Amino acid sequence: MEVEEIFLDGQRGRIAGLRGGSKGGAPLLAMHGWLDNAASFVPLMPHLQEFDVVALDLPGHGASAHRAPGYDYVFVDWIHDALDALDALGWQSARLLGHSMGAAIATLVAASAPERVQKMALIEALGPIAGDATHAGERLRNAVAAHRTRAQRPRRLIPNLETAVKARLAVGDMSDAAARMIVTRNLEAVDGGWQWRSDPRLAMPSHLRITEEAALSIVHAVEAPTLLIAADPAPPYFTPEMRAARVAQLRDGRLVVLRGGHHLHMEQPDVVAPILLDFLR
């Protein structure tokens, strides 16, 4: 199946993406996880040919623009990036497909602009990561210190693709093939080797996190029918108890648990795709 690169105009700069499927099909906007990019949905693309699929490079990732100098990646800003993409595509509403951070963003879009979301299929997240309120002061102090020092560090030179793939595998449990697909889209050639295209500011700690109570309230505001596909074993930040409590807040929600890793949509597309299609249709 042919997949083309596209570029959309957002309020904060260019948003890149990959488009596949059928342009006359039902609109499907896909958003990837943290430090991934649009390539993470390529393994699913052959199964989604009946849809007009646009997988975004979220700002700071892949070929999309970075935030302006001096600004941070504030989580609620991703809502407007997603809505900017829908506007640029001329889609009044669409189905959303999100993985990990992209699933958390999709949840916020559905909660804040319900008229734009027809259905929502999420993989490995439902709402944002919450934080313990008693640690808010410590988190804020550590984040400010990190932002004031790390912003001055030069970008690291990467000698070859294999080094980049090993670095990606060192920070995430995923297959070599999945890591290679994501890394290839996230590299740019420079004198002497390669550099990451992703914005180094993405790796900085967040200043604030909402409480679990607030996250449950956001999930409860979602009106669209929602499917959550979760991996077993579950990651420590999205435990079975937590995901069950969040799914219980949905007005029309269903949960499917599959044996696999965090990137199961890349590593098991033949298993994940039929579940997605049954819901998205």
> In the block, which residue shows the tokens 């080094």?
163
Mean pLDDT of 38-53: 98
- Give tens-digit pLDDT for 237-249: 999 999 999 999 9
pLDDT of residue 25: 97
Mean pLDDT of 145-152: 79
Is 100 in the active site? yes
pLDDT of residue 83: 98
Q: Is residue 85 part of a domain?
A: yes
Q: Is the pLDDT reported for residue 194 higher than 80?
A: yes
How many residues are there in the chain?
A: 281
pLDDT of residue 171: 86
Domain limits for position 119: 4-130+211-280
| pLDDT-wise least confident of 48-62, 102-116, 138-152, 205-219 | 138-152
- The average confidence (pLDDT) of the chain is 95
Alpha-carbon torsion, ordered 21, 48, 122, 218, to 10 deg: 50
Q: Is residue 219 part of a domain?
A: yes
* Token code pair at residue 45: 């693309």
Q: Is residue 135 part of a domain?
A: no
List the end-to-end C-alpha distance of the chain, in Å, as a whole number.
20
Q: Is residue 192 part of a domain?
A: no
- Which member of 40, 64, 100, 198 is catalytic? 100
Q: Are 139 and 207 contacting, i.e. CB atoms less than 8 angstroms apart?
A: yes
Helical axes 101-112 vs 77-89, angle rounded to 10°: 80
* Distances from the Cα of 114 to the Cα of 16, 148, 223, 225, 280, angstroms: 24, 37, 6, 11, 17
Under the banding of pLDDT at 50, 70 and 90, the label for residue 116 is very high
| CATH code, domain with 89 | 3.40.50.1820
Instruction: Report residue 207: phi and psi, to 5°.
Output: -75, -40
Angstrom distance (rounded) from CA 124 to CA 31 = 12
Q: Is residue 257 part of a domain?
A: yes
Mean pLDDT of 162-189: 94
Of 126, 128, 231, nearest to 174 by C-alpha is 231
- Please report, rounded to a whole number, the percentage of residues in the chain having pLDDT higher than 70: 99
- Give tens-digit pLDDT for 157-174: 999 999 999 999 998 889
Q: Is residue 187 part of a domain?
A: no
| Its pTM surpasses 0.75 | yes
Q: How many domains does the chain have?
A: 1
Angstrom distance (rounded) from CA 224 to CA 240 = 22
| Residues β-bridged to residue 54 | 19, 29
- Please report, rounded to a whole number, the percentage of residues in the chain having pLDDT higher than 90: 93
Q: Is residue 228 part of a domain?
A: yes
Angstrom distance (rounded) from CA 55 to CA 44 = 11
pLDDT of residue 150: 72
Q: Is residue 24 part of a domain?
A: yes
Q: Is the pLDDT reported for residue 154 higher than 80?
A: no
| pLDDT-wise least confident of 4-18, 81-95, 139-153, 221-235 | 139-153
